[in-house]
Amino acid sequence: MWSGVLPAVTSKFTDDDRLDHSEMERCFSLLMEAGCDGLIVAGSLGEGPMLSHDEKLEVLKVAQGVAGGKPVLLTINEAATREGAALAKRAAKAGADGLMLVPSPIYHTDPEETVTTLKAVAAAGDLPVMIYSNRIAYRVDVTSAILSELAVDDHFVAIKESSDDIRRTTDIINEFGTRFDLFTGVDNLAFEALTAGAVGWVAGLVTAFPKETVAIYKLVLAGRYAEALEIYRWFRPLLDLDVSTYLVQNIKLAEVLEIGTNDRVRLPRQPLRGERRASVEKTVRDAIASRPALPAL
């Protein structure tokens, strides 16, 4: 159902902490112009937990306006199942193409609770669902046993596999075949996952470097692994910025330097400063100075 590069977009704010619709429209349009295959809004990178339900739906609407008919998914990352179900219903009414669904990020559910809440939210929205499996960030492991229970529910069509164990890609394919559209959700494991059979990449650094991200995906899809690997090796120091407590600030600073936007974040986050900011800025500037020429696709 879904495949390719789906950016997990950043949310843009004005200097008085409101959503900046025009800047989001500009930044999202750059992604679509580069050949991305859809958009995912209000995720971890999009500061979803810091947004109200109304704000999440505003970001969804902006993304829909530039997506050109490509899928736009809204992330459900609510602490309570009731709130997740309510947002899922509103997303459906707003025309979302699907949901990216996070198991409870506050209370760490056991397997039975995980299945129950995922099914309840999926049923409330009655939309196609990408399961966000990230045991490191959210401390809930979506295991093969859990996937087996979800596989009988047609709402669940895809997995964002972010366990940080590259073996999971092969494990899921071996056990479930093509039942789920398998996406990698860890930027610095993307080449490994795509060459192992993932059909897509829920990407982070793509928001600053969309052409390079799309090139890696398309080259792998075409079996041009050596060319893809050359770009990926150049990209790795940047991709490592996604795997950090400061991933939002890191990536927003990369956006500042590459696409000329701002790095405003919502409190309690603050923009990078001091030595940490200098280090990230050097990583980004060094990459920009040495970026490879992209091959014809």
- Type and span of the H or E element at 207: none
Tell me how far the alpha carbon of residue 67 is from its chain's centroid.
16
In this predicted structure, the answer to whether residue 137 has a pLDDT above a threshold of 90 is: no
Q: What is the pLDDT of residues 56-107, one digit of tens each?
A: 999 999 999 999 999 999 999 999 999 999 999 999 999 999 999 999 888 9
For 209, the token pair is: 């470097």
Closest among 295, 254, 280 to 10, alpha carbons compared: 254
Q: What is the pLDDT of residues 193-214, one digit of tens each?
A: 999 999 999 999 999 999 999 9
Q: Which amino acid is at 14?
A: T
E strands within 68-208?
72-76, 98-101, 129-133, 156-161, 181-184, 200-203
In this predicted structure, the answer to whether residue 114 has a pLDDT above a threshold of 90 is: yes
Q: What is the pLDDT of residues 17-47, one digit of tens each?
A: 999 999 999 999 999 999 999 999 999 999 9
List alpha helices for 134-222, DSSP H: 135-138, 144-150, 167-176, 190-195, 210-221
Tell me the three state secondary structure of residue 167. helix
For 82, the token pair is: 């009731």
In this predicted structure, the answer to whether residue 182 has a pLDDT above a threshold of 90 is: yes
Place 138 in a pLDDT band, splitting at 50, 70 and 90: confident
